[in-house]
Structure 1
Amino acid sequence: MSSATEPVRSGSEWLTNWDPENEATWDKSLAWRTLWITTFCLTMCFVAWFLPSAIIPKLNAIGYDFTKEQLYWLAATPGLSAGLLRLVWMVLPPIMGTRKMVALTTLLLFFPVLGWGVRTMLPGTAPYWELLVLAFLAGIGGGAFSGFMPSTSYFFPKRMQGTALGLQAGIGNFGVSLVQLLTPWIIGFGMFWWMGISQEMKIPGKAAQTVWYQAASFVWLPFILIGAYLAWTYLRSVPIKANIKQQFDIFSNQDTWWMTILYIMTFGTFSGLSAQFGLLMNNLYGSGNAAIVEGAGATARVLVEGYAIPDPAAYVFLGPLVGAGARVLFSPLTDKMGGAIWTLISGIGLIGSIWWTIGGLTPDTSSAAALQGGFNQFLWGMLLIFLFSGIGNASTFKQMPMIFERRQAGGVIGWTAAIAAFGPFLFGIGLTTLGAVPFYWIGVAWAVMCVAITWWRYARPGAPKPS
Structure 2
Amino acid sequence: MTAPSTAPAASRRGRWIEHWDPEDEAFWKERGERTARRNLFYSVLCEHIGFSVWTMWSVLVLFMGPEYGLSPADKFLLTSVVTLVGAVVRVPYTFAVALFGGRNWTVVSAALLLVPTVAAFAVMEPGTSFTTFLLVGLLAGIGGGNFASSMTNINAFFPLRKKGWALGLNAGGGNIGVPVVQLVALAVIGASGGPRVLLGIYIPLIVVAAVLAALFMDNLASVRNDTGAARDAVRDAHTWIMAFLYVGTFGSFIGYSFAFGQVLTNQFGRTPLQAAYLTFVGPLLGSLVRPVGGRLADRFGGARITLWNYVGMAAATAVLLVAGMQKSLAVFVPVFVVLFVLSGLGNGSTYKMIPGIFQAKALARGLTGEEAVGHARRLSGAAMGLIGAVGALGGVGINLAFRQSYLSYGSGTGAFAVFLAFYGVCFAVTWAVYLRRPAGRVPATVAAPETKDQLSYAEV
Fold shared by both chains (TM-score > 0.5): yes
* 1:413 pairs with 2:384: yes
* 1:346 pairs with 2:309: yes
Residue 148 of structure 1 corresponds to 150
Structure 1 residue 338: Cα displacement? 1.9
Residue 426 of structure 2 corresponds to 450
Residue 157 of structure 1 corresponds to 159
Count of equivalent residues: 412
Structure 1 residue 310: Cα displacement? 8.0
Overall identity of the aligned pairs, in %: 28
Query: Letter of the aligned partner of 1:418 in structure 2?
Result: A
* 1:284 pairs with 2:267: yes
Residue 184 of structure 1 corresponds to 186
2: CA distance, partners of 1:250 / 1:7: 23
Residue 361 of structure 2 corresponds to none
Q: Contact (CA 8 Å) 2:147, 2:174: kept in 1 or not?
A: no
Residue 366 of structure 2 corresponds to none
2: CA distance, partners of 1:337 / 1:183: 38
1: CA distance, partners of 2:396 / 2:414: 17
* 1:244 pairs with 2:227: yes
Over aligned residue pairs, what C-alpha RMSD do you find?
A: 2.0
Q: Contact (CA 8 Å) 1:38, 1:102: kept in 2 or not?
A: yes
Q: Contact (CA 8 Å) 2:249, 2:346: kept in 1 or not?
A: yes
2: CA distance, partners of 1:9 / 1:433: 56
Pick closer, same or farther for the CA change 1:19–1:442 going to 2, 3 Å: same
1: CA distance, partners of 2:22 / 2:83: 34
Residue 88 of structure 1 corresponds to 92
2: CA distance, partners of 1:393 / 1:242: 27
Structure 1 residue 336: Cα displacement? 1.8
1:250-274 deviations in whole A, cap 9, x for unaligned?
1221111111111001000000010
2: CA distance, partners of 1:341 / 1:442: 24
Structure 1 residue 186: Cα displacement? 2.2
* 1:385 pairs with 2:339: yes
> What is the TM-score when the length of structure 2 is the normalising length?
0.85
The runs of 5 or more residues in structure 1 that have no matched partner are: 190-209, 289-308, 365-370
Q: Trace 1:54-453 onto structure 2 (pairs within 5 A).
A: 54-60=59-65, 63-120=67-124, 123-189=125-191, 210-239=192-221, 240-286=223-269, 311-362=274-325, 364=326, 371=327, 374-404=328-358, 405-435=376-406, 436-453=412-429
2: CA distance, partners of 1:379 / 1:347: 19
Runs of 4+ in structure 1 over 4 Å off: none
Q: Contact (CA 8 Å) 1:319, 1:386: kept in 2 or not?
A: yes
Q: Contact (CA 8 Å) 2:229, 2:382: kept in 1 or not?
A: no
Instruction: State the SS of the aligned residue for 1:19.
Output: coil
Q: Contact (CA 8 Å) 2:252, 2:394: kept in 1 or not?
A: yes
Instruction: Decide which of 29, 47, 51 is 2:34's aligned counterpart.
Output: 29
Structure 1 residue 245: Cα displacement? 4.2
2: CA distance, partners of 1:387 / 1:180: 17
1:397-454 deviations in whole A, cap 9, x for unaligned?
1111111200111111111111111233222211112442222222122211221222
1: CA distance, partners of 2:52 / 2:313: 26
- Counting helix residues as a fraction of each chain, which structure ranks higher? 2
Q: Contact (CA 8 Å) 2:111, 2:210: kept in 1 or not?
A: yes
Q: Contact (CA 8 Å) 1:272, 1:423: kept in 2 or not?
A: yes
Instruction: State the SS of the aligned residue for 1:241.
Output: coil
Query: Letter of the aligned partner of 2:264 in structure 1?
Result: M
Instruction: State the SS of the aligned residue for 2:157.
Output: coil
Structure 1 residue 358: Cα displacement? 0.5
The runs of 5 or more residues in structure 2 that have no matched partner are: 359-375, 407-411, 438-450
2: CA distance, partners of 1:130 / 1:9: 47
2: CA distance, partners of 1:243 / 1:41: 25
2: CA distance, partners of 1:5 / 1:327: 32
Instruction: Decide which of 26, 40, 49 is 1:44's aligned counterpart.
Output: 49
1:360-399 deviations in whole A, cap 9, x for unaligned?
223x5xxxxxx5xx11222122112111111100101111
1: CA distance, partners of 2:78 / 2:8: 42
